[in-house]
Structure 1
Amino acid sequence: ANQDEALAVNIFSTNVANLFGGEGVQAAPAQEGAQQEGVQPAPAQGGISSPINVTTAIDANASLTKIEDAIRMVTDQRANLGAFQNRLESVKASTDYAIENLKASYAQIKDAIMTDEIVASTTNSILTQSAMAMI
């Protein structure tokens, strides 16, 4: 069901230096023939490129914007990871359900085979007893 689908997540170190130094989260390259759903490339800068400065009110306000952008980046990444986790949990639940159904089907098949063998044995026993009675 999931053939040719790729799920790749690259997470760079999420510390202040990376958030404010230009390193961001980037989408992993897709495998050949696979589709990437819901994976968006990192922005051109990848992070916040200039340092934080709070020496003046104007610089502090600009820094607040940078901090809000960094928080938004982290929040977006957490949302993406949560979506991936939900998808994996859903696939696991479906797989567990399929395994349970296969085990139940296998047990029913084994019961049917056993029933066939009992019927064959009983038929042979009746035929043998009938033949002995005729002799």
Structure 2
Amino acid sequence: NANDGISLAQTAEGALQQSTNILQRMRDLSLQSANGSNSDSERTALNGEVKQLQKELDRISNTTTFGGRKLLDGSFGVASFQVGSAANEIISVGIDEMSAESLNGTYFKADGGGAVTAATASGTVDIAIGITGGSAVNVKVDMKGNETAEQAAAKIAAAVNDANVGIGAFSDGDTISYVSKAGKDGSGAITSAVSGVVIADTGSTGVGTAAGVAPSATAFAKTNDTVAKIDISTAKGAQSAVLVIDEAIKQIDAQRADLGAVQNRFDNTINNLKNIGENVSAARGRIEDTDFAAETANLTKNQVLQQAGTAILA
């Protein structure tokens, strides 16, 4: 029974290894798509491979079986293996669903709250990026005074990205949107790693404004996406995909760790059962096996008595 448990765990773990490889490939494609050198058609092509990999994840989830039972589609639940000679000497194995729809990740997103104004004067734009549980990070953008609203938005987004504090900024025309990775506050609750982005024109020369966003992004909404919903046909989608995939890999790693632990437990159980069997066999032998020294002495004694009886009769 314990060997059956090991075989089941190994079957599931082997399938999850391939699922991990698929997620790693999807992550590589997402990072490639996030690169600014890609055109829309190139991102579409990369997204096409991601869609095929999503289907392969589901195929593995739906077809991995042991003894006629599906292991990774969510129907397995918990199985108990009888590993001893007495009642209730069991080891339980639980396996969660590992389909593209069940693997998920959390991130936070926010809109810039309005359109970026065109730069009508040269000057400096201050950007304060609030860090949850830490000090704000401040960056500056220099405006020449002749940028369009689209150019100003692109400059501000680039400055936020260059800060490398766990937030991605994406300009679309004259608007900016943000994606923040998940973090935890002092109580352990999941929250946005970035609490807000405040943008202000603080130093203009001449008449007009360098640039501004009204209002700034101060509210990040929690978003929970699955691997099945990943779409890397845009740079923003690619960045979000990386966050989701990283969480999905952690989920698979946790399940594989559980399977590895239960395999080791089954191994130890088998070794213990072998030890018990050897000791019981030895004890039984001491009780039932012949004491050759004593029986040889009895044989010799009986032979002497027989010879003595024969001599008397003669």
Q: Point out the more displaced range, 95-104 or 15-24.
A: 15-24
Matched residue, 1:46: none
Matched residue, 2:269: 98
Q: CA deviation at 1:53?
A: 5.9
Q: Of residues 301, 305, 311 in structure 2, which corresponds to 1:130?
A: 301
Q: Deviations for 1:64-91, whole angstroms, at most 9, x for unmatched residues?
A: 8635522332222222222222122222
Query: What SS does the aligned partner of 1:61 have?
Result: strand
Matched residue, 2:135: none
Q: Is the aligned partner of 1:61 residue 2:175?
A: no
Matched residue, 2:111: none
Q: Is the aligned partner of 1:39 residue 2:97?
A: yes
Q: Is the aligned partner of 1:78 residue 2:136?
A: no
Q: Which has the larger radius of gyration?
A: 2
Query: What SS does the aligned partner of 2:278 have?
Result: helix
Q: Is the aligned partner of 1:117 residue 2:234?
A: no
Q: CA deviation at 1:128?
A: 0.6
Task: Tell me how many residue pairs correspond in the alignment.
Answer: 126
Q: Any conservation in 2 of the 1:4–1:34 contact (CA below 8 Å)?
A: no
CA–CA separation in structure 2 for the residues paired with 1:88 and 1:19: 33
Aligned-residue identity in percent: 10
Cα RMSD (Å): 3.7
Query: What SS does the aligned partner of 1:39 have?
Result: coil
Q: Any conservation in 1 of the 2:170–2:177 contact (CA below 8 Å)?
A: yes
Q: Point out the more displaced range, 78-87 or 20-29.
A: 20-29
Q: Any conservation in 1 of the 2:171–2:177 contact (CA below 8 Å)?
A: yes
Q: CA deviation at 1:132?
A: 3.0
Q: Deviations for 1:26-59, whole angstroms, at most 9, x for unmatched residues?
A: 231233532433224325xxxxxxxx96465635
Matched residue, 2:88: none
Which structure is richer in relative contact order (CA contacts within 8 A, separation 6 or more)?
2
* Structure 1: segments with no counterpart, 5+ residues: 44-51
Normalised to the residue count of structure 1, the TM-score between the two structures is 0.61
Change (3 A) 1:95 1:19: farther
Q: Which amino acid aligns with 1:108?
A: N
Q: Which has the higher strand share?
A: 2
Q: Which amino acid aligns with 2:270?
A: I
* Structure 2: segments with no counterpart, 5+ residues: 34-46, 75-95, 102-168, 180-233, 309-314
